[in-house]
Amino acid sequence: MLTNYFYLVNNSLAEVNNFVKRAKKKTLPKKGKVLKEGKNRSSTF
């Protein structure tokens, strides 16, 4: 019972980490593009 609970917690933590990593990967290039272009700054922020 306890091991199952810990397994679930570890699983959810891993999923959150993966989600954060994916979000960072998705957002970083967008910010770089916006800074390079400089045109769409007002619309994106």
pLDDT interval class at 41 (50, 70, 90): low
Phi, psi of 38 (to 5 degrees): 75, -5
pLDDT score at 39: 58
- Residue 26 to residue 3: CA distance in whole angstroms: 34
Q: Which residue has the tokens 């007002």?
A: 42
Predicted structure pTM score: 0.43
